[in-house]
Amino acid sequence: MPKLYSGAEIVFKCLEDQNVSHIFGYPGGAVLPIYDELKNFNSVKHILVRHEQGAGHAAEGYARSTGKPGVLLVTSGPGATNAVTALTDAYMDSVPLVCITGQVPTHLIGTDAFQECDTTGITRPCTKHNWLVKDINDLAEVMHKAFEVATTGRPGPVLVDIPKDIQFQKTKYKNYKNKKKLNGKSHDNYSQKNIDELINLIRKAKKPIFYTGGGVINSGTKASELLRELVYATGFPITSTLQGLGCFPADDNQFLGMLGMHGTYEANNAMYSCDLMINVGARFDDRITGKIDEFSPKSKKVHIDIDPSSINKNVKVDLAIVGDIKSVLTSTLKTFKKSKNNFSKSNKHQISNWWEQIQKWRSKRSLDYIGSEETIKPQYAIERLYELTKDKDTYITTEVGQHQMWAAQHYKFNKPNRWMTSGGLGTMGYGLPAAVGVQIAHPKKLVIDIAGEASVLMTMQEMSTAVQYNLPIKIFILNNEYMGMVRQWQELLHDKNYSESYTAALPDFVKMAEAYGCVGIRAKTPEELDDKIIEMLNTDRPVIFDCLVDKQENCFPMIPSGKPHNQMLLGPKDQKEKKITGKGRTLV
Partner 1 sequence: MANSKSAYSSAGKKQKLDTHIIVVWVDNETGVLARVVGLFSGRGYNIESLAVAEVDQKQNISRITIVTTGTPQVVDQIKLQLKKLVPVHKVADFKREDKNVIFKEMALFKFVANNNKLNKAFEACKNFDPVILDKTNKSNVIQITALRREIDSMSKNLKKFGLVSVSRTGAVAMTRGSEIFK
Enzyme catalytic residues: 52, 114-115, 164, 485
Distance of alpha carbon 530 from alpha carbon 508, whole angstroms: 21
Do 49 and 82 form a contact (C-beta atoms < 8 A)? no
- Identify the H or E element spanning 85: helix 78-92
Give the residue with the Cβ less far from partner 1, 88 or 479.
Answer: 88
Q: What is the DSSP letter of 369?
A: -
Of 290, 429, 433, 571, which lies in the binding site for partner 1, with binding defined by CB under 8 A? 290
- Which residues ranging from 491 to 530 are in contact with partner 1 (CB under 8 A)? 492-494
How far lies 74's CA from each of 1, 59, 84, 99, 128, in Å?
34, 12, 11, 8, 18
Work out how close the CB of 232 gets to partner 1 at its nearest, in angstroms, rounded to a whole number: 34
Distance of alpha carbon 44 from alpha carbon 144, whole angstroms: 16
Q: What is the DSSP letter of 175?
A: P
Distance of alpha carbon 186 from alpha carbon 308, whole angstroms: 9
Of 68, 129, 187, 522, which lies in the binding site for partner 1, with binding defined by CB under 8 A? 129
Type of residue at 513? A
DSSP H helical ranges for 236-377: 265-273, 286-289, 325-338, 343-350, 352-362
In angstroms, how far is CA 539 from the centroid of its own chain? 26
Percent helix, percent strand, percent coil in the chain, to nearest 5: 45, 15, 40
Work out how close the CB of 150 gets to partner 1 at its nearest, in angstroms, rounded to a whole number: 11
Give the residue with the Cβ less far from partner 1, 125 or 572.
Answer: 125
Of 76, 101, 119, 120, which lies in the binding site for partner 1, with binding defined by CB under 8 A? 120
Burial class (CB in 10 A: 0-12, 13-18, 19+), 576: exposed
Work out how close the CB of 110 gets to partner 1 at its nearest, in angstroms, rounded to a whole number: 12
132 contributes a contact to partner 1 by CB under 8 A: yes
Work out how close the CB of 128 gets to partner 1 at its nearest, in angstroms, rounded to a whole number: 7
**Across 353-481, where does the E strand assignment appear?**
394-398, 419-420, 446-452, 474-479
84 contributes a contact to partner 1 by CB under 8 A: no
Give the residue with the Cβ less far from partner 1, 507 or 562.
Answer: 562
Give the residue with the Cβ less far from partner 1, 290 or 437.
Answer: 290
Work out how close the CB of 305 gets to partner 1 at its nearest, in angstroms, rounded to a whole number: 11
Work out how close the CB of 503 gets to partner 1 at its nearest, in angstroms, rounded to a whole number: 20
560 contributes a contact to partner 1 by CB under 8 A: yes
Query: With CB under 8 A as the contact rule, which of the stretches 232-240, 287-295, 351-359, 510-518 interacts with partner 1?
Result: 287-295
Q: What is the DSSP letter of 583?
A: G
Of 251, 293, 374, 391, which lies in the binding site for partner 1, with binding defined by CB under 8 A? 293
Query: With CB under 8 A as the contact rule, which of the stretches 166-174, 225-233, 262-270, 490-498 interacts with partner 1?
Result: 490-498
Query: With CB under 8 A as the contact rule, which of the stretches 27-35, 101-109, 338-346, 557-565 interacts with partner 1?
Result: 557-565
189 contributes a contact to partner 1 by CB under 8 A: no
How far lies 177's CA from each of 29, 54, 98, in Å?
33, 32, 19
Backbone angles phi, psi at 521, to 5 degrees: -135, 140
Tell me which residue of 433, 514, 472, 530 sits closest to 50, measured CA to CA: 433
Work out how close the CB of 146 gets to partner 1 at its nearest, in angstroms, rounded to a whole number: 10
Give the residue with the Cβ less far from partner 1, 309 or 581.
Answer: 309
Q: What is the DSSP letter of 581?
A: -
Work out how close the CB of 494 gets to partner 1 at its nearest, in angstroms, rounded to a whole number: 7
Query: With CB under 8 A as the contact rule, which of the stretches 34-42, 52-60, 92-100, 289-297 interacts with partner 1?
Result: 289-297
Query: With CB under 8 A as the contact rule, which of the stretches 47-55, 251-259, 302-310, 517-525 interacts with partner 1?
Result: 302-310
Give the residue with the Cβ less far from partner 1, 197 or 285.
Answer: 285
Burial class (CB in 10 A: 0-12, 13-18, 19+), 202: buried
Give the residue with the Cβ less far from partner 1, 141 or 196.
Answer: 141
Type of residue at 284? F
572 contributes a contact to partner 1 by CB under 8 A: no
Distance of alpha carbon 405 from alpha carbon 410, whole angstroms: 9
Give the residue with the Cβ less far from partner 1, 77 or 564.
Answer: 564
Do 370 and 575 form a contact (C-beta atoms < 8 A)? no
Give the residue with the Cβ less far from partner 1, 316 or 360.
Answer: 316
563 contributes a contact to partner 1 by CB under 8 A: yes
Burial class (CB in 10 A: 0-12, 13-18, 19+), 315: middle
121 contributes a contact to partner 1 by CB under 8 A: yes
- Which residues ranging from 307 to 366 are in contact with partner 1 (CB under 8 A)? 307-309, 311-313, 316
149 contributes a contact to partner 1 by CB under 8 A: yes
3-state secondary structure of 423: coil
222 contributes a contact to partner 1 by CB under 8 A: no
In angstroms, how far is CA 364 from the centroid of its own chain? 29
Binding region for partner 1 (CB under 8 A): 120-121, 124-125, 128-129, 132, 149, 185, 286, 290-293, 307-309, 311-313, 316, 489, 492-494, 560-563
